[in-house]
Chains A and B, each alone.
Chain A
Amino acid sequence: MKLAFKLAYRNLIGAGLRTWLNVIVLSFSFVVIIWLKGVMTGWDHQAKTDMTNWEIGGGQYWHEAYDPYDPFTLTESHAPLPAEFLPEVAAGEMEPVLITQGSIFPEGRMMQVIVRGINPEQTIFQLPTSVLDSATDAIPAIIGSMMAKTSRLKTGDYVTLRWRDANGTFDATDILICGIFNASVPAIDAGQVYIALDKLQEMMLLPGEATIVTFRSSNVPRQETAGWVLKTREELTRQVDEMIKTKSAGQSILYGILLLLAMLAIFDTQVLSIFRRQKEIGTYIALGYTRQQVVGLFTVEGSMHAVLAAFVAAAYGLPFLAWQAKAGWTMPVDTSEFGMAIAQTLYPVYSLGLVISTVAIVTVTTTIVSYLPSRKIARMNPTDALRGKLQ
C-alpha cells in the first residue's frame, strides 16, 4: 500500500499542469464550501445572539391570546402579572411589556404602528430605554433605525400618536422621539414605537397589565402559569433554525455544482490516464500485480488529488478564511428589509467539525469518482495491454 501511495504521488507530480489544474479546482471547492458553511454558522450565531439581546432575552411568557402574527389578537392579549412573577420583576430579572396598536401621523401621513410599553430601567434588552424617563413636554419615545427611515422621523421630532384605550375610545397625544437605536432584529424595529410601560398602562386604562414577560436567564427551569404560555429561547429562535436549514438546502445545490465540476475533471483525468497508460497497466500485471492492486493504485492516484487540494486550499484558504472571520462579509444589498434577524455584515464561524467533515466528504467523493473509471482495468486483457493495443 505504501508503494501504491509512493507510485501515485510520483505519477501525479509527473503529470504536471494537468494535476495542478485538477487540484486547484478541487481546492476552490474546499474553500468555498467551508466559507459558505461558516457564513451560515455565523449568521445562526449572530441572529440568536441579537434576538436574545434585543427581543427575547432568556425566553418569554406570552399572554395566552397573544399571537405576534395576528394583530387582531392584541386587543384581547393583556392581563395583570401573575403573583409569582412579581419578585423577579422587582429584581429586574423579568420585564413585562404591554403591546397595543396605534397610528402615528408623521408629516400628516398615517402609519399603523405597534406601541410597546417597556420599563425604562430594564437591563435585559439592549434597547436604550433609559431615555424614556426624560422629562419632556410630550411622551418620550424611542424607535429603531428602520422605523426612522420609513417614517422619516429623527431624534427630537414630535409626532402625533393616536390609539384606542381598553374601552375602544380614541385618544391622541404628541410623542417626542428621544432616541433611535440600531438593531438587526426587524421584529423589534419595523413599525414599533417604545414608550414607558407605566405611561402606556395609564393611556390604555390597563394598570399593572402586560402582554409579554421576558426573563433574563434561560437556565432557570420554568413552569407554565395559568393564562400565560411559556416560550423558551429554543422555541423563539426556531424560525432562525428553520430559515438556516432552508438556506443550507439551497446552498447544497451550489456545493453540488462545485463538486460536480471538480469531479468531472478528476473523472476525465482518470479515463485519460487509463487510456494512455495501458502499457504501464500491462507491465504492472506482468510484474505480478493483481488486477485489483492496479485498480487500487489508480484509485489512490485519483483520490490523492483531494489530499493535494487540501494542502493547496490550506495555503491560500487559511489566510482568506481568517481574514473573513475578522472583517466579515458585508452583504451588497440592504438587509434591514429582509424581515428576519440578519446583520448587514456577517462574520463566518468555522468549527473543526466543519473543516474535517468538508475534507472527508470531498476526499470520499474524489475516491469514488477515481474508482469508477479504474474498474475498466479489471476487464483488460494483460497481453493486449502490454502490447499497447486499444481495449
Chain B
Amino acid sequence: MKSIFLIALFPLLNVAQAQDANTILEKIDANMSSKNRVFESSMTIRGKRSSRTITSKSYSEGTRQSFTEYLSPASEKGTKMLKLDKQLWIYSPSTDRTIQISGHMLRQSVMGSDLSYEDMMDDRKLSEVYDARVTGEAMIGDRRVYVLDLTARVPDIAYFSQKIWVDAERFVPLKQELYAKSGKLLKMMEMENVIQVQGRWFPGKIKYKDMLRQGEGTEFNITRISFDQQIPEYIFSKAALKQ
C-alpha cells in the first residue's frame, strides 16, 4: 500500500524537482546576468611548454553588445574587440586595421586560449535555452552544491547538454561540463573565489579547459567588476575600436 502511494506520488515529485531545477537556473541567471557590466580581468593561457597572461578591460550591455580592450602584454596592448549582436570585429593596433570575425573564424580560439570567439559571444540566459533536472547533491570543497543536468530545448545552441554544479546557497555555478550531442565531454569550467558584488554572487576565477585539446587550460581572473553602470553609447560602436 505504501509503495503504491509512493509510485502515485512519483510524477508529482518529478514536477516539483523540475520546478526547483528551473528556479535554480533562474537564480543563476539573476546572479550572472545583468543589464550591463564593466570588468577588468586577466586571462592566463597555459600551454604545453609555457603560459602567458593577457589583461583586459571589458564593457558589456545585456547579451548583445560587448567591447574589450587588451591592456597587456605589449604585443597585445591596444587590441580591441567589439561584439554587436552576432557580429564581431577585432582591431589590431600593429596593422591599424579592423577585421570582422565570422563563419569558421568564430570557432578559432581567442588568443590561443581554450575559449573560442563563439564561446565568448554565446551568452544567452541558461533558463531561456535549457531544460534542467536536479540529479543530486554533492560537495565541492566546503560548499554544498546541486548537480543539474541541462538539455537544450532550442535547436540553435552550441552545446546540446551540460552538467552543472551550483552552490546551494549562493546559486553560482562552481563547475560546468559542456557536452556534444553524442555525449562526448567537450569543455569543462571550474569556478572559484566567489565574491559578492552589488548584491550578486559572482565567480572571481574561472578555469576553462577544452577537453579535446592538450594543455592545462585557460584561467580567467576577474580583478574588478561592477554592474549596472553608465556606459557611454559610443563604446559599442566601430569608431571606438580605433580610438
Q: Which residues of A line the B interface, CB within 8 A? A: 71-72, 74-75, 101, 103, 105, 107-110, 112, 160, 162, 164-165, 167-173
Q: Which of B92-109 contact A (CB under 8 A)?
A: 102-104, 107-109
Which residues of A are found within 8 Å of B212, using beta-carbon distances? 103, 105, 108, 110, 160, 162, 172
Which residues of A are found within 8 Å of B156, using beta-carbon distances? 167-169
Q: Nearest Cβ distance between residue B109 and chain A, in whole angstroms?
A: 7
Quick one: given A71-B103, A103-B107, are A172 and B213 in contact (CB under 8 Å)? no
Chain B residue with Cβ nearest A166: B155
0 or 1 for each of B189-202: is its CB under 8 Å from A? (1 = yes) = 00000000000000
- Complex Cα–Cα for A75 and B102 (A): 11
Chain A residue with Cβ nearest B114: A110
User: Could you give 10 example pairs across A and B, Cβ below 8 Å?
Assistant: A101-B104, A103-B212, A108-B212, A108-B213, A110-B210, A112-B104, A160-B184, A162-B180, A171-B180, A172-B180
- Complex Cα–Cα for A165 and B159 (A): 11
Contact B213 A110 (CB under 8 A): yes
Contact B160 A169 (CB under 8 A): yes
Interface residues of chain A: helix, strand, loop or mixed (majority): mixed
Contact B182 A171 (CB under 8 A): yes
Contact A169 B104 (CB under 8 A): no
- Complex Cα–Cα for A19 and B215 (A): 73
Q: Which residues of B line the A interface, CB within 8 A? A: 102-104, 107-109, 152, 155-160, 178, 180-182, 184, 186, 210, 212-215
Which residues of A are found within 8 Å of B160, using beta-carbon distances? 169-171
Contact A165 B186 (CB under 8 A): no
Contact B158 A168 (CB under 8 A): yes
- Told that A112-B108, A162-B212 touch, could you supply 8 new A-B pairs with CB distance under 8 A? A72-B104, A105-B213, A162-B186, A168-B157, A169-B157, A170-B186, A172-B184, A172-B212
- Complex Cα–Cα for A52 and B213 (A): 37
Q: Nearest Cβ distance between residue A111 and chain B, in whole angstroms?
A: 11
Which residues of B are found within 8 Å of A71, using beta-carbon distances? 103-104
- Complex Cα–Cα for A257 and B212 (A): 57
Contact of A169 among B103, B107, B159, B215 (CB under 8 A): B159
Q: Which 4 A-B pairs have the closest CB atoms?
A: A108-B214, A72-B103, A167-B155, A172-B180
Quick one: given A72-B104, A74-B104, A112-B104, are A169 and B213 in contact (CB under 8 Å)? no
- Complex Cα–Cα for A101 and B182 (A): 17
Q: Nearest Cβ distance between residue B107 and chain A, in whole angstroms?
A: 7
Q: Nearest Cβ distance between residue A140 and chain B, in whole angstroms?
A: 17
Which residues of A are found within 8 Å of B184, using beta-carbon distances? 160, 171-173
Q: Nearest Cβ distance between residue A63 and chain B, in whole angstroms?
A: 16
Contact of B152 among A72, A75, A169 (CB under 8 A): A169
Which residues of A are found within 8 Å of B210, using beta-carbon distances? 110
Contact of B181 among A72, A112, A160, A165 (CB under 8 A): A165
Q: Nearest Cβ distance between residue A73 and chain B, in whole angstroms?
A: 8
- Complex Cα–Cα for A158 and B152 (A): 29
Which residues of A are found within 8 Å of B158, using beta-carbon distances? 164, 168-170
Which residues of B are found within 8 Å of A109, using beta-carbon distances? 213-214
- Complex Cα–Cα for A199 and B215 (A): 31
- Complex Cα–Cα for A333 and B169 (A): 66
- Complex Cα–Cα for A287 and B210 (A): 99
Q: Nearest Cβ distance between residue B105 and chain A, in whole angstroms?
A: 8
Which residues of B are found within 8 Å of A164, using beta-carbon distances? 107, 158
- Complex Cα–Cα for A74 and B106 (A): 14
Chain B residue with Cβ nearest A161: B212
